[in-house]
Structure 1
Amino acid sequence: MTEPTSVNVTETTKTLSVGETYQIKASVSPAEASQEVTYTSGNTTVASVSSAGLVTAKAAGTTAITVASKVKTSVKKTVTITVPAPAAEPDPTGGE
């Protein structure tokens, strides 16, 4: 079986608003290697990621999503997710 040499993603940084989602598109090189990857969020309070690579922004902050080859976990790429603080809008609940 061909060993993976690198993980490629379409974007290495992404800015999302709270509640938005983003699908990470990842591939493994060379093409003959297993294309299976795992996704891990460095801070699930800011953004979570599904096993299929769907990122959901949860709160303001920055986190790294690590996309790693399932067969060789040392082969990985990081996607930085930034969630800006929401614009100051009147609080419909009347404060804290």
Structure 2
Amino acid sequence: MNLAVGASTVLKVQINPADAANKQVTFKTSDPTVATVSSDGTVAGVKAGSATVTVTTDDGGKTATATVTVA
């Protein structure tokens, strides 16, 4: 995903199965000086560079990642 400095976007998370009892997830960025991520999945570009955003399910600890390039 590409973002401009100062821009933001919301990551969409799909939990399977769709009727899972616990759909809570946690977001984390590898470099908050490049891109921040809030608890609702909003990613904001801070300065030029690359960062990896990881989302982890609270139930089961499954993970997915997205690379964010800020320019």
Alpha-carbon distance, 1:37 to partner: 0.8
Alpha-carbon distance, 1:32 to partner: 2.2
SS of structure 1 residue aligned to 2:14: strand
Calculate percent identity across the aligned residue pairs.
36
Runs of 4+ with deviation above 2 angstroms: none
Higher-RCO chain (CA-CA 8 Å, sequence separation at least 6)? 2
TM-score relative to the length of structure 1: 0.69
Larger Rg: 1
Amino acid at match of 1:76: T
5+ residue gaps in structure 2?
Answer: none
Aligned length: 70
> What value does the CA root-mean-square deviation take over the aligned residues?
0.9
Match of 2:40 among 16, 33, 52: 52
TM-score relative to the length of structure 2: 0.92
